[in-house]
Chains A and B, each alone.
Chain A
Amino acid sequence: MMRLPVFRLHQPESLSDAMALLASSDGETRLVAGGTDLWPNMKRRHQSADVVVSLNRVAELSGIRGEVGGEVRIGATTTLAAVAASPIVRAAYPALARAVESISSPAIRNMATLGGNLCLDTRCTYYNQTEEWRTSIDFCLKEGGTICWVAPQSPRCWAVSSSDAAPVLCALGARVRLLSPAGEREVSVADFYRDDGIDYLTKQPDEVLTEVVLPPSDGVQMSFWKLRRRGSIDFAVLTAAVAVRRDDDGVVSEAAVWLGAVASAPVRSEAAEAVLVGNALTPEVITEAATATRKVATPLDNTDFTLQWRSKMVVHYVEAALREVAGLERERLAPNHAM
């Protein structure tokens, strides 16, 4: 069996106690919520800690507040199962419900949290392996080595941003609230990420993500499509999240087109958005917008599936998501691989 290393675990019951523990702990200190990312990473010795502070018992961090049509706030430790089941989320942000529902498996969604999902470590098939395996190939940049095995000439790490909620929240213009001893701040989900496989969050180590703030969704049409090998458990190798506002004649006034799992952060396609804005969602416009995403997505060979094919699928998946929003018959994609 793979075993966890030894560390001290705190389970505070209030946010202030948690903050105090974070400030006072000696040695390497980490936060944990559902643990579905942190514990496997610690077992494989990717991440270590002398002290782990659990947010699981902090009641004030959990729950969904607001109503359909208004601003909605989701506490960081709300489980993915609760987010997916929430009538508010399902009515106001169906793409978010769909994304969250697609994450891993039912058992994991019962433990995993939305905050943890947004902070999820980046992934790479050269990296998410046991310590012995990594010793065999020699450690890469993400672990203090001198080489990236995916792109040996590259000075940076290209590990993949694998949160399914992130691209949807970006497309919806959501924000996250961060609390630290220095105070509280709010930042857009888009700015929460940095396109770097190692330093993938702009969050400071002492900041706790407390809440996700979703703007009112009136009149926004949205969709989320996910490509992966199997209908459950697997991480995405590509996601497309789109949100569109149309005026009365069906002309697009606002558009957001985001891709997940193709870089170290969610990727926005301004070119695709530019094609959409000012046009009606005809099949031709949709195809043109989808084709425009091709340039922004530069996936590398560090996930499941062959690289060339995965790159080609970007256009198909964006197209499918946009066709769904437009109410057009969507591409005949094998349904197990998307929604």
Chain B
Amino acid sequence: MTPPRPGQVIAPDQAPPDSAAGSTHEDDLRIVGTPFRRVDGWAKVTGQTRFADDMTFPRMIHMRLVRSTLPHAFIQSIDTSKAEEMAGVVGVLTGKDMPEPFGILPVSQDEHALCLEKVRFVGDPVVAVAALTEDQAADACSAVKIEYEPLTTISSVDEALETHEPLIHDYGDEGNLHKKISLQFGAVEDGFAEADEILEDVMFYEGSTHLPMEQHAAVAVPEGGGRITLYTSTQTPHYVHKVLAQVLGMPASRVRVIACSVGGGFGGKSDIFNHEIAVAKMALVTGRPVKICLNREEVFYCHRGRHPVLMHLRTGFTKDGAMVAQHLKTALDGGAYGSYGVASTYYTGALQTVTYGLPRYRFDSIRAFTNKPPCGPKRGHATVQPRFALEVHLDKAAQRLGIDPADLRLNNLLPPDSITANYLKVGSIGLGACIQAVVDGSGWRERFQSLPHGRGLGLACGSYLTGAGLPIHWNHLPQSAVQLKLDRTGTVAAYCGEAEIGQGSDSVLAACVAEVLGIGLDDVLLCVGDTGLTPVDLGSYSSRVTLMVGRAAIQAAERARDRLAEAVAEKLDVPADRLVFAESRVFDSGSPENGMPFAEAVQQAEEKFGALATTGSYAPPRAPGRYRGSGVGPSPTYSYSACVIEVEVDPETGLYRVEHVWIAHDIGRAINPVLTIGQVEGSVYMGLGEAMMEEQVFRRLPKSRSSALVHKVPSMLEYKSPTFHEMPPVTTYLIEDPDPEGPFGAKEVGQGPLLPVIPALANAIFDAVGVRIDQVPIGPHMIRKALEDKEAGGDGRYGPKSFPDIDFGVPLMVPTPDEGGDGRATNTEEAGVRKGSGTMTDGVRKGSKP
């Protein structure tokens, strides 16, 4: 078989299913599926795009924050008197000015815009100062005097487990544990009893941060009528809007949030941040526009990045490599606040079931509070760590069982349209085609285990959500909506709350509208990410935008098309179902010359119906799980990816270089192949960064000398992220098998392709030099150590030795679909868990103040 071409689109044999979401037949599509120029591209390359820091207003002043220099302490006193008298200073705020707690999840309302009684990590903001210039604000910040009473600091999960006093927060599941979960799906022990081989692994995934090029910035502008507008670099204007109103104590109708173009988010701009609230308050207090732009070090303190996770994985296999039961334990180092942490905790277990058949499954997890910047969602949100563990674990199983790692996976693929042991409903699965593409492309069959010592190939897979099935604030409202306004010029204005963070969501919105209405991309005028003008979209997270905005846009456009068709049909005297919308015209498919320009069609319809506007919206289908915790994991559809990495390792030094990456992604349908390949390559880049070198790590100074616990290297020079010298050539295959849930069949691409990259590297290193590195990032010293260990007769492994001994109590028992389960837990009382499926909304104690 000839290897596929790079960038080749591979369509599986079966005919695409009919879909409610736009046509999926390639012949009918003009824009979707072609590589078109992104609609915001021109402005970006010519510097016309206005990022939040580009915003400027008359009388605008500048704000800076004084941040804690202690990792854990009570605030004894704050003296701002000297700062207030300094040249140019206009306003000073402390925690007392905004005492209302907040947090992105209703269940973790544990943050304050400025710290109230306590600071919880070095970098926690305490005071805000605004002055005529940024220099004056910075000088005045240096004049603020804060006295602290230091507290014992907690720097790791182990310390959190040991330390019962002091508590970082006065809420949580137990001591300094924010969250503790135990879920069991089916008779897991029976499964292990049937196994031919049981494999056990302990693995560690270090934390890392998003490192967006754009530092967070926000500008707040007081407006007439007691309103306030916040321009900010955010992925989630809707949530910023909600929380801002809550903390400022203003009606949401008086608060407007505008998401500026974002210069990189990757999950790091999905929370609402202290500075966004403080800058708005400062604008209200001073009556002037106020700007804040964080410096790079502060961005490291905002964080919300990848959780460091220690994992224990035990799996029973049959002789031919099928999994019969699995028990996964994860321990997350959460940092100082809740953030998305409850969701993250569940996500470390949720998607283990969606790639390969797994009939019985148990999942235990804790998330600890520590005195470090809070962790949260980063590309692949908390599914990346257990995916690393699983895919390396499978590589070891394949080795133990004498099965080719590609076959082990291919033979045990989850069938399409399955309901998994943990009640995720999975639709189309293109994973088999993905594996086949990278196996063929890399010459796997001939080259795996056959390359010279020092060269190796590794294979791994992954899967990700195309949008979280449930909203953060539990309700039955649409999760995305689009409004279209059609005017006499033929321009269609599309209003939508989505936030363009560089991923191309504007282009997807414009393409869906233009495709349905048969007009050009230039004829669509976008108004997005503005809570004052646009209907709600929940935001750019969980890879939801293409699917949900796309579906809403198609619905709105189809409604507009129907109206136009009705008017045009009457005018041309042809049946409406014979009309075609294409080339910016509406015409009779029977005699194409019989038609009119699109603008004229709009005028006809306006004459008939009055001013024209339509709406569309989308809410995901309900998931089958009914147990507490089942809210995390469901998605309208899942994307799949497979990756092969070729690596060259120098056994003498442990230094290595990634030579080539082959990656295939099951995208359903590429709305724009160029943008999607860009997302795949970006994911490869970010995945390699995490696999090779990126780490958000901390330095604790000798306890006898100092209580310091600081970010080791909060700078772009010393926080190592690959440069293009480290970026290998990448061959991307898009696997197109349109999914009925997706717009034109599309699934996500922004996050999924990152997942297989990390384990593929670890597996490739094993093929190259025969040692297992069970943690990332993989440093050369680890390879050297493992090789030395092997030379000394050891097992040639580098990684964590053990998982802490934690009493997870009685797991919540959920019989699987195969066992006749109905998605409900059977021992809710005994497991001490509240009923219902909500996870992020209620059920545990609220923060310091409700």
Contact = CB atoms under 8 A, between A and B. Distances in A.
Interface of A: 1-3, 125, 128-130, 132-133, 135-138, 147, 149, 152, 229-234, 304-306, 308-309, 312-313, 316, 331-337
A1, A132, A304: residue with the most chain B Cβ atoms closer than 10 Å: A132
B652 A332 contact: yes
Contact of B653 (A1, A136, A316): A316
Interface in B808-836: none
A128 B693 CA distance: 20
B702 A336 contact: no
Interface stretch (B178-186, B586-594, B703-711, B756-764): B703-711
B657 interface: yes
A232 B652 contact: no
B723 A232 contact: yes
A332 B780 CA distance: 14
Given A230-B722, A233-B723, A135 B69 contact: yes
B710 A125 contact: no
Contacts of B18: none
* Interface-centre pick from A1, A125, A231, A308 (highest chain B CB count, 10 A): A1
B706 A137 contact: yes
A309 B780 contact: yes
B650 A233 contact: no
B712 A230 contact: no
Interface size for chain B: under 10, 10 to 19, 20 to 34, or 35 or more residues? 35 or more
Contacts of B715: 128-129
A309 B650 contact: no
B655 A133 contact: no
Contact of A133 (B653, B710, B720): B710
B289 to A, nearest CB: 18
Given A332-B454, A333-B653, 5 more contacts: A128-B715, A129-B714, A132-B67, A137-B706, A229-B720
B295 interface: yes
Given A132-B69, A137-B706, A332-B454, A337 B718 contact: no
Nearest to A40: B717
Interface of B: 67, 69-71, 122, 134-135, 138, 293, 295, 297, 454, 648-650, 652-657, 693, 699, 701-702, 705-706, 708, 710-715, 717-718, 720, 722-723, 725-726, 779-781, 784
B69 A130 contact: no
Contacts of A230: 693, 720, 722-723, 725-726
B656 A334 contact: yes
Contacts of B708: 136-138
Nearest to A43: B295
Contact of B655 (A135, A138, A308, A333): A333
B91 to A, nearest CB: 20
A331 B650 contact: yes
A136 B725 CA distance: 35
Contact of B134 (A1, A147, A232): A1
B706 A138 contact: yes
Contacts of B122: 133, 136
A304 B695 CA distance: 12
A59 to B, nearest CB: 32
Nearest to A312: B784
A230 B725 CA distance: 7
Given A233-B723, A304-B720, A332-B650, A152 B780 contact: no
Contact of A335 (B297, B657, B705): B657
Given A3-B138, A132-B297, A334-B648, A306 B781 contact: yes
B654 A309 contact: yes
- Residue of A313, A333, A334 most packed against chain B (CB within 10 A): A334
B785 to A, nearest CB: 8
A298 B676 CA distance: 49
B650 A333 contact: yes
A233 B717 contact: yes
Contacts of A129: 713-715
B811 to A, nearest CB: 39
Nearest to B141: A132
Nearest first, the 8 closest Cβ-Cβ pairs linking A and B are A231-B725, A309-B781, A334-B655, A136-B69, A137-B708, A334-B657, A306-B781, A135-B69
A207 to B, nearest CB: 29
Nearest to B788: A312
A316 B454 CA distance: 17
Q: Which of A136, A313, A337 has the most CB of B within 10 A?
A: A136
Residue from A2, A232, A336 having most chain B Cβ neighbours under 10 A: A336
